[in-house]
Every structure is written in structure tokens, then in C-alpha cells.
Structure 1
């Protein structure tokens, strides 16, 4: 089965999601900050909201595949099982005695239960029989022997497709680094992804999928800030150029504040030439233009205004901007509530949180159809529809554009005849 993504906006065919589960129920006031959540979500409601999100995609013809199901199927492969268990055992907190007991415990689990432990974690009291040893005895009974991964919800961050290859990323925050052990195993061992070329792996410099925007078939933007380092951006640029998947990459410095942790928290695409963007930084955002050098090393020039650099690289007159809010207070509120973090299902068709009333109205005034979803609980992890989705297959952009133009002509003819 082929997988291909060359833009943010062409028709979405297949997307990988992770339905929130036991890992979200592990969040408490003692650990939510370290696990990167602003609050304690209502798990049942978060699952309802996520199910509605998935159904909204299916209703538009999108195939939805789930990370947890893929993981359980992957764990049926002995090499994959051994690899992910080894990833857990690398945790230096365990010590030799506890590490040995955890290895035995995990080896005894079937694929479904092992997948649940790897995503939802293993609490101190759940490790049976009592393994003994100093490390275990000195742990608090509410501590985790294996930490939960509540941020798996945001499947965009741990992998990103560039044409027919996948970049399995290198997550910066300690609470998230084990996520890519699971993602990497899925892409390497699951039969669905057999033969997939890999552009990046978790052992490289820090790079996160929320910072990678495919502006067009040959142009990418990579945010550089809290999560993605300049070295990570340069490494991906080199690999993309070697694969022939882009001629220009824009490295975009972003403010190192939690509200702008990724580039897609301030800017996402909703049409082939349009972005929804946080107005407070739209005209201040800069970009370094990176192209292949004659010696094979990426060469960077700039910085210059991002909007100008993007339009030039994309070969268009200008990149249209749709603001999140008409006044500074509304814009700031809706940016915090992921108003910029939209998922395009097709050109001029996107999914957005319903709570961002003004941003959605702005999108519709600009000719963008908005599929509204609830996110009151899902949003507690500071991520929107784009963060929660990893497209693994889209119609190639130029094919999608031709189909859209045919539909427009057909609609015009029907209107004239009526």
C-alpha cells in the first residue's frame, strides 16, 4: 500500500490518530505539568470529542487508522516486540533489579496488554508480584514504573510524511521521547508500511512534526524554537534535498513561549495559497531560505519576512493571510485555544475547534468551509485538529487542484443552467 503526502491541503485519504485512553486517566495535579498538560481532562468526554473528530473525517471520505491498533499488530513481530521493550528498559531510574523484573513482566504480556502498558504506563502497585529491590521499595506508591504517554494524542509530532517517505522525529521533552520508540517500530515492522523510506530517526537532533509545514510539493517550512533545533532543521533539510523532495526549505524562528511551542500553533494552511495565522506575529515572522549547496551542504540566506520568502519559494504573488480574530484580545484568546491549528481535508475545507468562533467566521468569510468539532477536553493538552492528526496519504497536490477546478466548473455550469 502506497503512502504519499506533498502538501498540507490536498485531499486527505488516510490519517493516523490516537484515541485517548488509560494514559489520559493517569494525569493528576501532581504530574500534569511534567506530562505537559495544562489541566486534568475529563477522559470520557475527551474520548467522545475524539470519536466525533474521527467521524467527521470519515464522513468526508477519510480513512482513519489508530496508532494503538497498529502498535498491537506490530508487537506480533518478535523483533519489534524486543525493540520496544528494550526502549522501556533504557530508563536509568529503574536500576538493575527492577529492570530485570520489568523485563520479565513485559515479556509475559500478550500484544494487546503490552500495547496498553506501553501507552498507558505501569503504576507501582500494578507490577506483580512485588519485585523487591531498593528502587522499587523507595518509590512512592503513586509513582510509575513506566510513565504514561498522554501526549500520544498528538500524532503529528512523532512523525511527518514528506512525499513517499516518513520522518520519525526526535522529541525534545523528556516526557515525550519514548513516543517515537513506538512510532518508529510501527513504521519499521508493521506490514502496512513495509518498504517505507525513512528520512529521519529519533536518535538525531531534536525535530518535531508540529514544526514542519509542507507549503507545496517542493517547498517546506520548519519552525525553530522550543522543540525543534537549528541542527534538527538542517538535518531534515539535507535529507529532503538528497531525496529530491523539495527545492527550498524555510527555517522559521518562532517565539520560545508555550503558546507558540510549534510553528503550527501560529500558522496552518487552509488553501494552496492561504494560511490562517496569528496576526500578532504575521508580519514580524522571519525566515531563513535554505537551498542545496554545490557541495551537498544546505546553504542558508536571510532572514527576510516569512510571507515574502514563502510566496517567492512557492512561485505565487502572495500568501493570503486569514487572521485569528479582528482585535488583539480575541486573537490572543483564540490563538491560545488553537484557532490557528486547523487540519485541511481538502483545499478550502478544514477542521477546527468550534470554540474559536471569530477565527471560524473569518475563515468562512474568506471562502473556507469549516467542519467544527468540540475540543473542550481535548484542548487541555494544548493542541488542535492538526496536532491530533498525522496524514499518511493525500492526493498529490496538482491532481487535487485539477479535481477542484473541475468541480468549480461543474458547479458554475449547474448554476447557470438553473
Structure 2
């Protein structure tokens, strides 16, 4: 087994962490889908078929696929991990002390695979035997004692590897808080990872993996918008500098809107010197350049800017220019394909990217620019607003070619 190491977006992908959607998607209804951050109620069987095809496309190109739910079930054989995750599942002021004790007893008695399913899929009011107490009586039959985690599908957000260290992120939305406890427990307790050094922690300022792009070895871009705060970007910058993981962090303000919730919803790398970007922001996207100050061990920072993002990125990467793939989209098509995650691609290697098949115009532009596109279906997977990059957390990549 190769030790985790990721230094770019485009080095040949060797190992990736995915989560196949399951019972948690069946919990979505028109009544709760907004609260659980989905734009609709997906057809679960079709979403699973689409995800299976995504995993198969990666495997067929030599990528080892790790499944988060399987790793979680194995970790739950470890008493410390089991106790930690059960405690996190009932850490909810809605349920009260009486119902909390009942739920803890129920979860603690489950076999590891059953507990994994409950932690991800949730536990509803009418699924808890012997439950009582005021909070229980006031709940409706379909209310959740343990909320489901349908967004666990997007494994990019709850953790991101920078070099050989892992950032367990601080997720902004309440519906997603427990995702990082699951990911963190897997990295801490599963023998595949052997407790890597943590670069970030969920108790810190909000920072999500979809906002972190490893543009080149030593160069990170961090989006600041709906999900990641400036404080989170600053904290990450201090840590990557003091640990020698990067020399430059580009902080990129993005609109606080659903369609642009993360930096990777508007721009992703498709080659060592090229990216695809939402045309509406290509001319206006800027970056603040952050580097270590005179006393890096003390967390001293030097901040300059703002400058046009593409120019600032090229300078930081040490290249003449960062090529922007010209998609040639008219404004209406651009907006449609942006909403359908047309710019959220996953590089398997230089000039080889996975993309949703429905974004035909963007994909054609990529192919015309010499990027081989691996098309996958995503009609149902995309109802949570995320594309191939959102659904994947690279764990091992080859060093990026020069």
C-alpha cells in the first residue's frame, strides 16, 4: 500500500476515496431536501447506478477506489472510534437527555456494519425501540433522532490531502457537521492510514475541501465565499507554511451563491498549466497572494494584491501563463452548464479528466484543447450540486510532471 501523498490536481491519480450513496438519499423528501442541501429528491437507484459507473471508470484506468462506508464499518470495530462516533451522532440539543440515552444504548448494541449504516443513513423517530421522553413525544413519526448525511457523497469537502498530511475540514452547514467526524475517525483509526498528521481540525474556522485547489507543488488556491471563511484560509496558510507544505497560498473571493458554493464549482485544473473556468468570472476573478513572512515559524504572513487570478497563479506556479480553456459558451449555455457542474472536473492525469456527460459544449471545448474527457452520467448525482471532483477525495497521486 502506497502512503497517502497529494501535491497537485493533475498528477496521475492512484487512490481515491468515494462514498456510494445509499439509504441516506432515501431519507430526502420535498419537506426536508432544502434543509439537507439537495435541490430535489433524487431517484436513488439511478444515482447508485451512476456512482457505480463513476467508480468503474476510475478503476478501469488503474485508480484504486476506497469506499468510505466500508472503511467506516471496519473502524467501528475499534472501541474508541465507536464511542467517539456514537457520541457525535447524539450531540444534538433537539433530542434531550432522555432520548439521548435511549439512542446511545440502541446504537451501541448494533453490529459494526449496522452502526455504519445508521450513522450515515440516520435514525428516524419510529425506528428507535423503547424510546420515550418529552422530546420523543413531541417529534413526528418522520422526524430524525440522528439526522442522515446525504452530502457524504461529496467526499472532497470533509477532508483534503496536502502532501502527506490531511486537513479534516470545518464544514459550514449544520446538516454536514458530522461528516468530518466520520472522515476523521477513518483516518485516525483505519490501518490503511495509520493516523496521519492532521493539518486542520473541524473545531477551527470554516474551511471546506471544495475550496482548496493544489495548483502545483507548493501552490494552493483557496476560495473564500459561502462555505470557507477568510479566517479558515488564513489558518490553513499559516499551517502549510510552518510545515513546509507550500510556499504560496492564493486566496480567491467567490460569490456567496448556491451555483458557486466552492472554488471548484467555477474552476478546476485539467493539465499542469491549464484550467477550465466559468466564463462569467474569467475576467473578474482575483486573488490575494499570501506568503510566509520574515518569521515563518511564528506564523508571520505577507499579503499582497489583489491581482487577476490567472496572472497571480502563473507567477506562483513559476510558469509563463496559466492557460484558460476557452469554452466559447454563450451566456445562457454557460450559466446552464455551470449549474450542471460543467467546470467541476476530476483529473485522472494530465490532459485526462472525468466530467458529466450532459455538459456537451464544455466537454467539446476541452477535447478541442487536447483534453481527453471521460464522460459519466450525473442526472441524479448532481441534485446535491456537485460534480466528479466534488465526489472524490484523492489520497495518492503521482508527482505532477513538469
Please report the TM-score for the alignment, with normalisation by the length of structure 1: 0.94
Q: Distance in 2 between matches of 1:291 and 1:96?
A: 48
Matches within 5 A, 1:293-372: 293-296=293-296, 297-372=300-375
Structure 2 residue 177 is the aligned partner of structure 1 residue 181: no
Structure 2 residue 100 is the aligned partner of structure 1 residue 77: no
| Contact preservation (8 Å) 1:14, 1:64 | yes
Aligned residue number for residue 40 of structure 2: 39
| Contact preservation (8 Å) 1:324, 1:335 | no
Residue 313 of structure 1 deviates from its aligned partner by 0.3
Segment of structure 1 superposing worse, 187-196 or 172-181: 187-196
The alignment partner of 2:394 has SS state of: strand
Q: Distance in 1 between matches of 2:326 and 2:154?
A: 24
Q: Distance in 2 between matches of 1:232 and 1:109?
A: 37
Residue 158 of structure 1 deviates from its aligned partner by 0.3
Give deviations 1:185-226, integer Å, cap 9, x for gaps.
Answer: 011111111041110011111000000000001100000010
The alignment partner of 2:156 has SS state of: coil
Query: What is the aligned counterpart of 1:378 among 368, 373, 381?
Result: 381
| Contact preservation (8 Å) 1:324, 1:339 | no
Aligned residue number for residue 62 of structure 1: 63
Residue 299 of structure 1 deviates from its aligned partner by 2.2
Structure 2 residue 30 is the aligned partner of structure 1 residue 26: no
Q: Distance in 2 between matches of 1:292 and 1:375?
A: 41
Q: Distance in 1 between matches of 2:327 and 2:70?
A: 36
| Contact preservation (8 Å) 2:90, 2:146 | no
Q: Distance in 2 between matches of 1:373 and 1:96?
A: 46
Please report the TM-score for the alignment, with normalisation by the length of structure 2: 0.98
Residue 26 of structure 1 deviates from its aligned partner by 0.3
Matches within 5 A, 1:259-270: 259-270=259-270
Aligned residue number for residue 118 of structure 2: 117
Gaps of 5+ in 1: 402-418
Residue 325 of structure 1 deviates from its aligned partner by 4.6
Corresponding residue pairs, total: 398
Give deviations 1:77-121, integer Å, cap 9, x for gaps.
Answer: 111011111111211111110011111111101100000000000
Gaps of 5+ in 2: none
Matches within 5 A, 1:239-258: 239-258=239-258
Matches within 5 A, 1:68-147: 68-129=69-130, 131-147=131-147
The alignment partner of 2:192 has SS state of: helix
Structure 2 residue 239 is the aligned partner of structure 1 residue 230: no
Aligned residue number for residue 389 of structure 1: 392
The alignment partner of 2:5 has SS state of: coil
| Contact preservation (8 Å) 1:248, 1:313 | yes
| Contact preservation (8 Å) 1:324, 1:340 | no
Q: Distance in 2 between matches of 1:298 and 1:127?
A: 51
Give deviations 1:263-297, integer Å, cap 9, x for gaps.
Answer: 00000000000000001101100100000111332
Q: Distance in 2 between matches of 1:141 and 1:53?
A: 35
Q: Distance in 1 between matches of 2:109 and 2:269?
A: 46
Residue 301 of structure 1 deviates from its aligned partner by 1.1
Q: Distance in 2 between matches of 1:184 and 1:53?
A: 24
Residue 243 of structure 1 deviates from its aligned partner by 1.3
| Contact preservation (8 Å) 1:250, 1:288 | yes
The alignment partner of 1:300 has SS state of: strand
Provide closer, same or farther for how the CA distance between residues 23 and 324 of structure 1 changes in structure 2, counting only shifts above 3 A: farther
The alignment partner of 1:100 has SS state of: helix
Residue 326 of structure 1 deviates from its aligned partner by 2.1
Give deviations 1:333-381, integer Å, cap 9, x for gaps.
Answer: 1011000000000000000000000000000000000000000000100
| Contact preservation (8 Å) 2:340, 2:382 | yes
Q: Distance in 2 between matches of 1:194 and 1:288?
A: 36
The alignment partner of 1:192 has SS state of: coil
Residue 328 of structure 1 deviates from its aligned partner by 1.0
Q: Distance in 1 between matches of 2:25 and 2:313?
A: 38
Q: Distance in 2 between matches of 1:294 and 1:90?
A: 43
Residue 323 of structure 1 deviates from its aligned partner by 3.7
